[in-house]
Structure 1
Amino acid sequence: MMKGKLSTMKMSFPRKEETEQELYHVIHKLPSGDSPYVRAKHLQLVEKDPEGAIVLFWKAINCGDRVDSALKDMALVMKQQDRAEEAIEAIKSFRQLCSKQTQESLDNVLIDLYKKCGKLEEQIEMLKQKLRMIYQGEAFNGKPTKTARSHGRKFQVTIKQETSRILGNLGWAYMQQKNYPAAEVVYRKAQEIDPDANKACNLSLCLSKQERYPEAKHILDEILQGKLIGSDDLKSINRAKELLKELEPWQFVPSPLLCAEISLEDAFLEGLDQLISKRTQFRSRRLPIFEEISANRDQLAC
């Protein structure tokens, strides 16, 4: 009886070839199998053949093989190959084939692609759409946090952190349009929600572009004095020092009276003033993301 059990146990051990194959997939971070998507990942990650990988990603999408991952991976490879506009069209054409859980990450990919192409209007609209989702309690698929990856490490992102990040990106997009009053409003709201030194540097730059040098210098001084989150980050410190050096010729020039209006024509900016951190309380607690635009006009207008 014992002999039969030992025999059965011996037969259940994996073969050497199977073990080596599994180890191969783990080392190269490849999914198992021999489908078009798996072969595409092999070309992308092992053989370093992006064009061949794109062809097989297309094939995977067309035959319904891991469409969610195939579409995202193909778009990212296209972006690396300076084919961002093709990637945008691909996402627009095939995203309806993807699951609901994937739509938010596809939006993130689209935002990066619009940024790569210099399509500021489209980028800004997508960022606003993500803010609407937060306002409506639809971000993170209704969960209070999401798992993100950076340099191979996983970490949790809260709704609060995500809102500040999106506002920071929106502020930078307005900066590229040279709409500095709008960028200032957005950066200040981002800092109210989840302040950090990097966005503070951007706010300072935004103020200096409006010739408000003393205000810009005050923010940089706070960074260098370690008063802001991330002030110990060497990159932020160096950037603050560079911006401060650029301000030196103007540090004794008084801030001018601004006779400008914030051209934020979007009605949602006036009403988007809720940020809820708990899944079951999306509309129970108000946090100021945006003030009334009219109040900002009063502050900035002569």
Structure 2
Amino acid sequence: MRATIEAVLADQGVITARAHPALSPTMRRLARAGLLANPLPGVFIATGETSALAWLRAVAQWSAPAGIIHDTSAAGLWLPSLADSTARLVHPTLRSRHRVVVVRRRVPPDFVREAMGLRVVTPAYAAAELAARDDGRSACEMLRLRLATFEELALATRALAGSRGQAERVRAIAACQDNPWSYAELRLHRILREAGFRDWVSNRPLDIGGCVFHPDARFRAARVIIEVDGRETHERPGQFRRDRETQNVYIAAGYLVIRFTWEHLDDVDYVVRVVREVLRLRGH
């Protein structure tokens, strides 16, 4: 029996008394001996297993079949920097407990999927949830990684109507309409949009000499490109060099390139003034 338990753990990372009732006495005995961990009623994992994914699998088995992993717990599957030790769960009857926060909410079936052995909300739904608190940062990452489209984010936002932070969520997701791939780009897009600039696109493919580039913002008729350096750019020498090489390609192809830093985005008047002057010089 112990070999069977070990085989199930190796395959699934978790074993439950509900799925294996005949093994339940052995699992309890091994847990008492410290050879298995029993973090939730009827749920067993390997002793010493501390990964966020293992914990989520344990919570998923404990809450099956109605439980749905959501919020940062779901987003962290695709954006590892968001993963933490607390599982966030949607369930109609279970209550919150140590390291598990349970909310009661109906999640439309279109926004639920199986991922990594878990029943979770989609990337778009998780990013829309977080937009109420992170001003769209997670949504930008989901867009950059092609895990969600703006249309999916907008649908998920509508599905969350009536939930806490909806006004902030709606505003943040609306700011993603021009496909920002970073929070710095989202801030730039807001500035351009609110200043009334037209004829610009963001992260649209641009073919130069058979190579495809995705400028942060590009004024098509004026042939002006805007690139914004996020806070981390100068901390990654390889990326810093590649950005300058890409800029040289743009210039050689006849584009005028403007660069802004994260700090520049705090000075909206400066950004607007520079863009207007450059467009004027280009005859637009």
Higher helix share: 1
- Per chain length, whose mean CA-contact separation is higher, i.e. which structure has more relative contact order (CA < 8 Å, sep 6+)? 1
Larger strand proportion, structure 1 or 2? Answer: 2
Q: TM-score, normalised by structure 2?
A: 0.31
Could you state the TM-score of these two structures normalised by the residue count of structure 1?
0.29
